[in-house]
């Protein structure tokens, strides 16, 4: 049994949905499981050893499920599972909404992820995953909460807890805001999250993701632009020099606009506005349009786009928009020490991601992560699932 098979078996188990008395809402439970992995070995683990490990994991889970079910009737998929047309599309009906399931790297692609929402009209997604965090744009809590908001669904993400492999980050996300989330690189403990969710989340207002940005006439600042790499993609960056300002940076067909005001412009931190419009080709082939405000790792501009986990600069306001050619844009806001900012920002119908109040923590990144599924060269191509994110 390979590690990925083992992870696959263990990862699927980490949810339960607890029924509430009212059918308008329900209580969701997500467990981030501190998985016991086999010791590194070149010899495949025997069947018996694998079973022993799975049992050790199940023993831990049993405790978590018992503790969860003490709250409100353990839900065990009483309604029929249904796998129509494409085998990977899994949905089921309950008295508290329609559910769909997909896993891991599926979240970056149209099928089954977008199909479940657009064609099968699910209210809530169950997402078991073994997700390795990749900053600045693909940490688990950041991307999963952004997907819930961008697609207008409830999203229950249950990650493995395995900090030495950068696996942590689970959450219960409603379309308007994260309701509960957990990120812990410091301990070896599992974690149970509980939160109320609407059975049928209110339809989110339709967003025209290019409306505001396409009306902006911005002066070219081309002479101050520079290139930098984020997760193998070459972005065009512009340094934010003032304590406040209006900046525009473009790449190919995408122009990104930012208005911002910091509490103070620190001399020990550098922020940039970045744009990327192109096909990502490493560990998967998928077309992206991204507008991003981010903190560079150091004040050396060559480090812009590198992974960084802490910041000190406080923002009083931001407004980020771009001339996106897609309706699939996922709004991300990530604060220092990998924290989300529930209730501190919103998306307006003209496509601006705006702060609603001064942010509760220093900003690592504010990003509009757009996917152009129709421009992917080979759909769902993904060579080595264990290499980065499953």
Ligand X SMILES: *[C@@H]1O[C@H](CO)[C@@H](O)[C@H](O)[C@H]1NC(C)=O
| Interacting residues of 310 by C-beta distance below 8 A, sequence separation 6+ | 336, 337, 362, 364
C-beta closer to ligand X: residue 56 or 67: 56
Q: What share of the chain is helix, strand, coil (3-state, %, to 5)?
A: 20, 35, 45
Q: Which of 7, 21, 28 is nearest to 99 (CA)?
A: 28
Q: Which is nearer to ligand X, 259 or 346 (CB)?
A: 259
Q: Which of 210, 236, 313, 367 binds ligand X (CB under 6 A)?
A: 210
Told to check if 46 binds ligand X by CB under 6 A, we report no
Q: Pick the closer one to ligand X by CB: 336 or 355.
A: 355
Residue in 386, 356, 369, 388 with CA at minimum distance from that of residue 142: 369
Q: Which is nearer to ligand X, 53 or 366 (CB)?
A: 53
Beta carbon nearer to ligand X, 49 or 337: 49
Minimum CB distance to ligand X, residue 215 (Å): 6
133 burial level (CB within 10 Å; 0-12, 13-18, 19+): buried
Task: Report if residue 326 touches ligand X, rule: CB under 6 A.
Answer: no
Among 163, 201, 245, 385, binds ligand X (CB under 6 A): 245
State yes or no: residue 82 binds ligand X (CB under 6 A).
Answer: yes
Helix (H) or strand (E) holding 158: strand 154-161
Q: How far is the CB of 243 from ligand X (least distance, A)?
A: 9
Contact of 288 with 353, CB cutoff 8 Å: no
In the shown chain, the binding pattern of residues 289 to 318 toward ligand X, with x for contact by CB under 6 A and - for none, equals ------------------------------
SS3 track for 269-300 = CCEEEEEEEEEECCCCCEEEEEEEEEECCCCC
Q: Are 113 and 86 in contact (CB under 8 A)?
A: no
At residue 91, what are phi and psi to the nearest 5 degrees?
-135, 155
User: In a 3-state reduction of DSSP, which class is residue 331?
Assistant: strand
Shortest distance in whole angstroms from residue 120 CB to ligand X: 8
Q: Which residues pair with 274 in a beta bridge?
A: 237, 292
Among 12, 51, 58, 244, binds ligand X (CB under 6 A): 244
Taking CB under 6 A as the binding criterion, the range among 170-178, 206-214, 225-233, 333-341 that sits at the site for ligand X is 206-214
Task: Yes or no: say if 160 and 13 are a contact pair by the CB < 8 Å rule.
Answer: no
Site mask for ligand X (CB under 6 A), range 87-106, x = bound: ----xxx----x--------
> In the complex with ligand X, which residue's Cβ is closer, 82 or 312?
82
Question: Which one of the spans 106-114, 191-199, 205-213, 269-277 is the region binding ligand X (CB under 6 A)?
Answer: 205-213
Q: How far is the CB of 272 from ligand X (least distance, A)?
A: 17
**Pair 45, 7: CB distance under 8 Å:** no
Q: How far is CA 356 from CA 37, 137, 210, 290, 316, in A?
A: 43, 22, 20, 22, 9
Residue 226 binds ligand X, judged by CB under 6 A: no
User: Is 91 or 103 the residue whose CB approaches ligand X more closely?
Assistant: 91
Nearer to ligand X, 96 or 143 (CB): 96
- Asked if residue 243 binds ligand X (CB under 6 A), the reply is no
388 binds ligand X (CB under 6 A): no
- CA atoms in the 13 A half-sphere facing the CB of 173: 31
Compute how many residues bind ligand X; rule: CB under 6 A: 18
Q: Work out whether 214 is an interface residue with ligand X (CB under 6 A).
A: yes
Q: Which residue(s) pair with 230 in the sheet?
A: 233
Q: Does 55 bind ligand X (CB under 6 A)?
A: no
Q: Is 348 in the site for ligand X (CB under 6 A)?
A: no
Q: Is 211 in the site for ligand X (CB under 6 A)?
A: yes
Closer CB to ligand X, residue 92 or residue 285?
Answer: 92
The CA-based angle 9-14-17, given to 5 degrees, is 135
Binding residues for ligand X (CB under 6 A): 36, 38-39, 53, 80, 82, 91-93, 98, 208, 210-211, 214, 244-246, 259
């Amino acid at each position: 049994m390979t590690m990925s098979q083992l992870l696959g078996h263990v990862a699927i188990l980490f949810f339960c949905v607890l029924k509430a008395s009212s059918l308008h809402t329900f209580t969701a439970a997500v467990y981030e499981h501190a998985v016991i992995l086999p010791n590194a070995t070149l010899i495949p683990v025997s069947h018996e050893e694998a079973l022993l490990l799975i049992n050790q994991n199940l023993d831990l889970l049993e405790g978590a499920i018992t503790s969860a079910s003490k709250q409100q009737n353990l839900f065990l998929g009483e309604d029929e599972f249904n796998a129509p047309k494409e085998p990977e599309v899994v949905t089921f009906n309950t008295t508290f909404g329609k559910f769909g399931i997909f896993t891991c790297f599926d979240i970056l692609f149209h099928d089954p992820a977008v199909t479940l929402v657009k064609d099968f009209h699910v209210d809530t997604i169950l997402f078991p995953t073994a997700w390795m965090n990749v900053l600045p744009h693909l940490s688990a809590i950041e991307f999963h909460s952004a997907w819930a908001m961008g697609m207008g669904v409830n999203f229950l993400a249950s990650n493995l807890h395995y900090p030495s492999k950068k696996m942590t980050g689970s959450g219960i996300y409603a379309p308007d805001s994260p309701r509960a989330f957990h990120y812990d690189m410091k301990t070896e403990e599992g974690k149970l999250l509980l939160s109320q969710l609407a059975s049928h989340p209110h339809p989110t207002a339709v967003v025209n993701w290019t409306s505001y940005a396409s009306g902006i006439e911005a002066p070219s600042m081309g002479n101050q632009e520079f290139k930098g790499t984020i997760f193998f993609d070459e972005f065009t960056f512009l340094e934010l020099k003032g304590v406040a300002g209006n900046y525009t940076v473009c790449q190919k067909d995408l122009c990104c606009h930012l208005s911002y005001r910091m509490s103070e412009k620190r001399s020990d931190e550098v922020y940039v506005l970045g744009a990327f419009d192109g096909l990502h080709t490493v560990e998967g082939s998928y077309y992206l349009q991204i507008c991003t405000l981010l903190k560079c790792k150091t004040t050396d501009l060559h480090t812009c786009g590198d992974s960084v986990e802490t910041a000190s600069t406080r923002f009083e306001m931001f407004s980020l928009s771009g001339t996106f050619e897609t309706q699939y844009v996922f709004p991300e806001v990530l604060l220092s020490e990998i924290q989300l900012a529930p209730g501190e920002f919103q998306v307006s119908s003209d496509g601006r991601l705006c702060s609603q109040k001064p942010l509760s923590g220093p900003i690592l990144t504010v990003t509009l992560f757009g996917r152009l599924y129709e421009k992917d060269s080979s759909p769902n191509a993904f060579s080595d699932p264990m290499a980065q994110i499953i």
